[in-house]
Structure 1
Amino acid sequence: MKISKERLIVTFLLAILIAFIPLGAAAPVGTSENATLEAANNWLGVKSVHGGNNTTAIDCSHLVYQVYSQVGAKDIFFQKVPDMKNNTDYVNTSSPAPGDVIFWQKDVPQNGRIYWLATHVGIYIGNNQFIDTSFDTKNVTTENITGVYEEGMPYFARWSRI
């Protein structure tokens, strides 16, 4: 059986890609679940304010950035939620583990059109719960996935830089 050079190269590149995808890791690759959950818990009670980025007030995307920075996620940088969603360093996972990122998507009207956009982000802590900047309490809090965000569709990802 003769294999074309192109097919061999594609197979080789695919094998390399698969070797570097963190299948069993949770939270940012190279960090501990416990450290990530502890860092997220340290933000509980902080006031939720759009654009906030410190222990006085914080928003959802800054919360994820701060938590992941605190635990040493390699090459992490701040991005707003839609940009995080499109960043290929956040690898989607169908098997969420504590410390992973949970994104919320929903139909959002913009410029006379409807877009399916990521609108909110938090840190998954397990047992269908996540830590986020709550719209209801106006603080960083723990919420249930089936609760406040029923109108949105959750999906999970993790920071994959090694």
Structure 2
Amino acid sequence: MSHTAHIPSHRKPRRSASKMALRAGVTGGVLSTLAVAGASGAANAAEPVTQTIELPTLTTDLSSQVAQSADATQQAAANYQLQAERDEAFANAAKQAKKDQAAAEKKAEAKKKAEAAAKEKAEREAAAQQAASRSSERTTLSTASAPAASTATVAAPASGSVGAVISFLRAQVGDAYVMGGTGPNSWDCSGLVQAAFKQAGVDLPRTSQEQSTFGTPVSLSNVQVGDILYWGGAGSAYHVGVYIGGGQYLDAANPSKGVVIQDLSGYPASGAVRAL
């Protein structure tokens, strides 16, 4: 026995030739792959890659279709706007037609009322003229039958002058009262009296204050048909009317009454003047 036989050997067991060849081949393949990859990476680093992206080009037909679509959209918008304008115009025309119709109906109604009022006024005037004619005849007969001495002491008014005043006043009964009104269908108190006396050729002043001092003052106990009655002081009167006999007077009273005949007992006058 050798003197080293008891010492374990530190050598590794030899590998077979086939295993060693296989490992060598694998190692070589890996190194080859790494070498190729390294070379490729170096080449890529040296020369940057340029990539060109080609955008699709619009064909002539597609461009035409886009243009036609835009035109169609614009035309549709124009049509909608035109229709809206037509609708608005139609609505405005309908409103105006309604207003015109209402105005025409109102005008026709006013005309109808005016014609009725004119007819009624004409009838009143005719009745007043007949009454004035009868009154004049009675006055003439009364004067003719009175004693001569009596007629000599009575100063009769000008022929028909008082009758003309009363006839005119009665024809205005029912007209409206309007402050400052001078006719022909609306009056204030002094405007009516002034217009009535103008029928007899008497030019009265315009206001009630002035009319209350025009002519000859008379007492209320001696008042006669055609005398001017006033309310308030002479020269400061605030209202006037005309005595028509039988304890009554005619005046443009106020906005609620208009031109009316009233009793003196209900609203006694302050004084009277005689202008005829």
What is the DSSP-based 3-state SS (H/G/I as helix, E as strand, rest coil) of the residue aligned with 1:67? Answer: helix
| Residue 92 (structure 1) aligns with | 217
Q: Whose radius of gyration is greater, 1 or 2?
A: 2
- Structure number with the higher helix fraction is 2
Return the structure number with greater relative CO, CA threshold 8 A, min gap 6.
1
**Cα displacement (A) at 1:137:** 3.6
Number of aligned positions between the proteins: 122
Distance 1:53 1:96, change over 3 A: same
What is the DSSP-based 3-state SS (H/G/I as helix, E as strand, rest coil) of the residue aligned with 2:236? Answer: strand
1:102 to 229, 246, 258: 229
Distance 1:52 1:136, change over 3 A: closer
Distance 1:50 1:131, change over 3 A: same
| Structure-1 separation of matches of 2:235 and 2:226 | 25
- Deviation string 1:98-118 (CA, Å, 9 cap, x unpaired) is 111111116xxxxxxxx9931
2:196 to 56, 61, 67: 67
Query: Which ranges of 4 or more aligned residues in structure 1 deviate by more than 4 Å?
Result: none
- Structure number with the higher strand fraction is 1
| Residue 272 (structure 2) aligns with | 156
| Residue 52 (structure 1) aligns with | 181
Q: TM-score, normalised by structure 2?
A: 0.40
**Cα displacement (A) at 1:30:** 6.0
Aligned AA (2:273): A
| Structure-2 separation of matches of 1:35 and 1:129 | 18
Q: Structure 2 matches for 1:11-160, cutoff 5 A?
A: 24-25=155-156, 31-73=160-202, 76-87=203-214, 90-94=215-219, 95-105=222-232, 117-135=236-254, 137-147=256-266, 149-150=267-268, 153-159=269-275
In angstroms, what is the RMSD of aligned CA positions? Answer: 2.6
Aligned AA (1:158): R
Q: Which runs of 5+ in 1 are unaligned?
A: 1-22, 107-114
What is the DSSP-based 3-state SS (H/G/I as helix, E as strand, rest coil) of the residue aligned with 1:102? Answer: strand
| Structure-2 separation of matches of 1:70 and 1:102 | 18
Aligned AA (1:24): A
Distance 1:127 1:46, change over 3 A: same
